[in-house]
Structure 1
Amino acid sequence: MTPAISAQAAVPASPETKEHGLSTKAVEIARPFNFPITNSMVVSWIVAVGLILFAQLATRRMRQVPTGAQNFLEWLVEALYDFMVGIIGPHLAKRTFWFFATIFIFILSANWIALVPGVGAMGWGHRTDHGFVIDQPLFRGANADVNMTLAMALVFFASWIVWAVREVGVMGFLKELFAPKGESTGVLRLLMVVVFFAAGCLEVVSILFRPV
């Protein structure tokens, strides 16, 4: 009687595949005069230059009846302005429109540019068994860099403080944060002062973390 020998078929191990995605920080691609330039900075400069050139082209020969690029630019500005007026009113819209419109157009354009084929897919890398892997992309979405997001948040934070102080004054700004609201007297008034002062301190912490 011949014993039956059962052998398990050896299953070849699949090669390990390493996932490659967007790096957590922008990649430095050059350092002229010891000034670091990242791939996100390059895209942000391209977007900024493109918007400046478009604005110059659209307003180079202003016409009473706009056409072409001038017509599109005027439509965009008027639409954004009317939208802001409907939210914050005409008074604040006149004071803050330049900032919000600029940031909106820049962020929108930067996000659209990041969708162009080749952004993030061109650069320096190495060949593997699974194809060519990009280690240092030449272009990277401008808003994918936390430094860009943080910079815009800090600028808005500082601008918001300036607008608030100009609107209600320093004392009005502090009263809005710490002063008790409502009508109260006696011990209740003292208690409300303590409560609203504590709430004001929390509001200050909240304001400090809003850019983040």
Structure 2
Amino acid sequence: MPALKKLVLSMSMLATGATAFAAEDGHEKAPSLQSFLGLPVTNSILYSVIITLAIIALVRWLVGTPKIVPTRGQAIVESAVDALRGLYEPIVGKKAMPMAFPVLITLFIFIVFHNWAGLIPGVGTIGWGHEVNGHFHVSTPLVRPHTSELNGTIALALVSFGAWFIIVMRYAGPGLLLFDLFGNKADKKELAPAMYWGLSGIFLIVGFIEVVSIFIRPVTLSMRLFGNVFGGENLLHAMHFLPPFYFLELLVGFVQGLVFTLLTAVYIGLICNHGDDHHDEEHGHGHAAHAKESAH
């Protein structure tokens, strides 16, 4: 299954995401448990590898050998994939969808399952530490969710940004990207020359603002995901792990994965989803004209 191979490769890349970033205030740097080939292996990377292997094993177990008449597990996976395809395709556009969809579905599965994996009892609360006022305080957890570490969410955001750049260059090209950012979208025939060139200056200024917004996307994506997951952990601890708050965090974990991938899809669609309907309309008119000529 080529699609499954892509999923395995993508999951492996995400699971070993960047570890060099950590906030100084309000967020503890990910502790290194051991080193592998000279690189630090943090507790979040260790747990990421475990959960990623579990996801791959679950998909393999559900699908098995794909059949024309799907089994129950295969039908579940196919239904989920079709639902996500139907959600992303109108945003991304048909042209870029074949390349964008594997990235989007991999990010969605990875984020959602790692968010949920943080709710397993013992995750983040078992490890090494010391006593504080008669209570044991865990300073170095054995495992922590990938998305609860700022370095993990930055890695995900960089993967999203890199995928956006590659897909835009592949299906839109630098010319369309520059025009979309700085070009005058007004119709020159409908405006006076002075107004048209005045709008060109405005579009140029707006383009520079848009460039700044593009480069801060990795920051906003990573901070949004990290903030919600980190806040959810603190909420659960404050509420003493009451069941209603577990359900709330399950919902938040799903929604955050959906928001992350929907924003990535929107960023791709803003550049690549231009002219699909117009192209289809022209294609349809061409077929109709050809049929008319054949009839004559």
TM range (shorter): 0.7 to 0.9
Q: Does 1:171 align with 2:137?
A: no
Select which of 38, 62, 71 maps to 1:58: 62
Shift of 1:23: 4.5
Q: What's 1:107 paired with?
A: 111
Pair member with larger Rg: 1
Larger RCO: 1 or 2 (CA < 8 Å, sep 6+): 2
Matching residue of 2:206 = 199
Structure 1 SS opposite 2:152: helix
Is residue 109 of structure 2 the alignment partner of residue 97 of structure 1?
no
Equivalent position amino acid for 2:69 in 1? V
> How big is each residue's C-alpha offset from its partner over 1:80-115, in whole Å with a ceiling of 9 and x where there is no partner?
112223444444433311111010011000011000
Find the counterpart in structure 1 of residue 76 from structure 2: 72
1:19-54 deviations in Å (ceiling 9; x for gaps): xxx943322211244310111111111121111222
Compute the displacement of 1:132 (Å).
Answer: 1.2
Deviation digits for residues 177-206 of structure 1 (CA, Å, limit 9, x no counterpart): 111121334333332222211111111111
How many pairs were matched up? 191
Secondary structure of 2:137's partner? strand
> Distance in 1 between the 2:175 and 2:37 partners?
47
Residue 10 of structure 1: aligned partner: none
Where do 1:1-212 residues align within 5 Å?
Answer: 23-183=27-187, 184-212=191-219
Structure number with the higher helix fraction is 2
Farther-moved stretch of structure 1 (60-69 vs 72-81)? 60-69
Give unpaired runs (5+ residues) of structure 1: 1-21
Between the two proteins, what is the percent identity of the paired residues? 34
Shift of 1:63: 2.8
The answer (yes or no) to whether the contact 2:124–2:141 under 8 Å persists in 1 is: yes
Q: Is the 8 A contact 2:92 2:100 kept in 1?
A: no
C-alpha deviation, 1:72, in angstroms:
2.3
* More divergent stretch after superposition (22-31 vs 140-149): 22-31
TM-score when normalising by structure 2: 0.59
In structure 2, the gaps of 5 or more residues are 1-25, 220-296
Amino acid across the alignment from 2:205: A
User: What is the alpha-carbon root mean square deviation over aligned residues?
Assistant: 2.0
